[in-house]
Chain A
Amino acid sequence: MTLLTALARLLVFPGLLFAVPAAWFFLWVERKAVALMQGRVGPPFMQPFWDFVKLLGKQTPPRTGIAGAIMRAWPLLAVSSAAGAVGLLPVLPSSGGFEGDLILLLALLELPSICIIAAGFSSRSIFGEIGSAREAALSVSYNIVFLLAIVSIAASQHTFKLEALAGMHPSFLTVLGIIAILVCLPAKLHINPFSLPNAEQEIYAGPMTEYAGPELAMWELAHGLEWVAGTGLVATLIAPHITAAWLAGGLFVALAFAIVLLLSVLAAATARLAIDSTVRFYWQCTLIFAILAISSAILVRFRS
């Protein structure tokens, strides 16, 4: 990957220029779909964008010292890491990449979650701390399954390069891995039934309780970019290999859109689970499948 290609991927497609409007669009799709399924009107098309603009224009309470600087830094770090994760997605055919970029993608996908945990604790709010503790417990629960699923797919394909994984032929093992990733996505995106960290009827906004103005706008943007990165990762894994760039881009958007709709149905159809039920779900029910997937992948690798 040349420097120019890397910059184009990071800044243009599928990076910031595409990812930011896509983040607002996916946020709108999720909110609108859930609203329609609940018999409500839902927000207008431009609502996430206007929310972002409105928040940018608000004043924030002054926070001095190192604590204030740290609080301001977390949302920026979350946005940049989520944008970087989107930029790494191999959407277009032969768009480059490097060996091991899957590891970097996983790290970048995990960073917003860590930022949320740190932000909640650094805000010194009781609701923020509760939200952060829940996020930490949730993160420990679903990440084992998420990582095992991705590693099993990578092990079955003998590579940690995203472009090679995007062009793989579907097999039983990869399908199992993709299903495991899909099961983890609601927890990663904090939607029902795993919306514990930002349980708005219980702990206000959780880790975001003390945030306002441009900082909150950055959190919203980071959340939208997480949607694009999470759904985009699954979309690139299940999309067939297509040589035409425009067709590949269109298919990526369509598949990501379908996954957003699927997650919206799940969010509308379920209620929030308690933390012990969530942890039990991932550690008892899903982990078995993930271990099966990775052990099968390792066996396949030793056989070949």
Chain B
Amino acid sequence: MNILTMLGQNLRRGYQTLIFPARPRVTTRFRGLVEFDPALCTGCAVCRFRCTSRAIEFKAGKGEFTWSYNPGQCTFCGRCVEGCAEHALKEGRAEHALSQQQDTPPVYLRQGELKKSYTVARRPPAPKPQAPKPAADPAPAHSVTPATLPAVLAASKPQEGAAS
């Protein structure tokens, strides 16, 4: 009888279909077209490695690299965004078929029309952090230096036959 209760509820609630031109709301977890920020990208190509649908292409050049994204192949799984350590990729919410910003959904007439390519100059590697200098004052008496370690271990080791 649960099904009859459900049918009654549906009847009371009315239909849930959106009548044109109403549009469904985009939720906060909606995964739209991937947006790329060239300023943050370091060219590690992890996104290309993680993209199972091969929507992301990466070509390394001399002093620069080219990052391409084809939404026609993208399955919007979000793995590239998850894997980007520099946060250069994010899931867009504005540019998609459900966008509330356009009167009509976009119409694409040829294959690869949405494909975007960015050629980004490689940033010079960041300088290596300086190794900390050893302290000038002598080590405190309770600290264990590598040189003294075997002696300390030997001292703390129980002697054979001590208990008997």
Contact = CB atoms under 8 A, between A and B. Distances in A.
B4 interface: yes
Interface in B3-45: 3-4, 7, 10-11, 13-17, 19
Contact of B7 (A40, A41, A42, A268): A268
Contacts of A41: 15, 17, 19
A218 B7 CA distance: 32
A37 B15 contact: no
A36 B15 contact: yes
Interface in A31-49: 35-42
Interface in A226-272: 265, 268-270
Contacts of A269: 3-4, 7
Contact of B15 (A35, A265, A268, A270): A35
Interface hub of A35, A39, A41, A269 (most chain B Cβ within 10 A): A39
Contact of A38 (B4, B10, B19): B10
A36 B10 contact: yes
Contacts of A35: 15
A37 B19 contact: no
A31 to B, nearest CB: 13
B15 A39 contact: yes
Interface in A1-56: 35-42
Contacts of B13: 39
Interface residues on B, range: 10 to 19
A269 B10 CA distance: 12
A241 to B, nearest CB: 33
B3 A40 contact: no
Interface hub of B7, B11, B16 (most chain A Cβ within 10 A): B7
A36 B17 contact: no
Contacts of B4: 265, 269
B3 A39 contact: no
Contacts of A36: 10-11, 15
Contacts of A37: 7, 10-11
Contacts of A268: 7
A47 to B, nearest CB: 15
Nearest to A36: B11
A33 to B, nearest CB: 9
Contacts of B10: 36-39
Interface string A260-297: 00000100111000000000000000000000000000
Contacts of B17: 39-41
Contacts of B16: 39-40
Nearest to A35: B15
Contacts of B11: 36-37
Contacts of A40: 15-17
B80 to A, nearest CB: 36
Nearest to B13: A39
Interface hub of B4, B13, B15 (most chain A Cβ within 10 A): B15
Interface of A: 35-42, 265, 268-270
Interface of B: 3-4, 7, 10-11, 13-17, 19
15 contacts: A35-B15, A36-B10, A37-B7, A38-B7, A39-B13, A39-B14, A39-B16, A40-B15, A40-B17, A41-B17, A41-B19, A265-B4, A269-B3, A269-B7, A270-B3
Given A40-B15, A269-B3, 11 more contacts: A36-B10, A37-B7, A38-B10, A39-B13, A39-B14, A39-B16, A39-B17, A40-B17, A41-B15, A42-B15, A269-B4
